[in-house]
Amino acid sequence: MSSLAYAQAKRVENLRVTRERDRQRGRELATLLAATLPVAFALLAYAALHIETVRVGYQREARVKAAIALQEENRRLRAELARASSPERVSALAAKKGLSPPRPGQVQFVDVPGGKSR
């Protein structure tokens, strides 16, 4: 016999052949899914809450630092205002520019019709 006898192609028609469903395996998969999904969702929820907690902590820390910086700037500006508006400094600057207190009668008050009274 020749080797050509084994090389002939035979057409196989498997179009009508279907595999039967394994019901036992389907139940096992459904049970496994029902058991693991709540755990997976719980872990995801825990991770999301943890990430949100960390994010809020960073935001809070940034706001605390900003508040401290603003308080320090407020303190510095108040000290600068107190130094700039001190009577000794104002008197010294006025004397340097040749200014003197007004003499009696030099200041006049004007009434504005329909205006607010002091």
* pLDDT per residue as tens digits for the range 85-98: 999 999 999 999 99
**Are the C-beta atoms of 31 and 23 separated by less than 8 Å?**
no
Q: What is the pLDDT of residues 39-50, one digit of tens each?
A: 999 999 999 999
The amino acid occupying position 49 is L
Predicted confidence at residue 10, as pLDDT, reads 76
Q: Is the pLDDT of residue 84 over 80?
A: yes
Q: Is the pLDDT of residue 24 over 70?
A: yes
Work out the angle at residue 20's Cα, subtended by the Cα atoms of residues 18 and 25, and round it to the nearest 5 degrees: 140
Average pLDDT over residues 74-82: 96
Average pLDDT of the chain to the nearest whole number: 89
Q: Where are the domains of the chain?
A: 23-96
Task: Output the six-digit token pair for 59.
Answer: 């935001």
Count the alpha carbons within 13 Å of 21 in the hemisphere toward its beta carbon.
Answer: 4
**Are the C-beta atoms of 83 and 89 separated by less than 8 Å?**
yes
Query: For the whole prediction, is pTM greater than 0.85?
Result: no
> What does the alpha-carbon distance between residue 42 and residue 48 come to, in Å, rounded to a whole number?
10
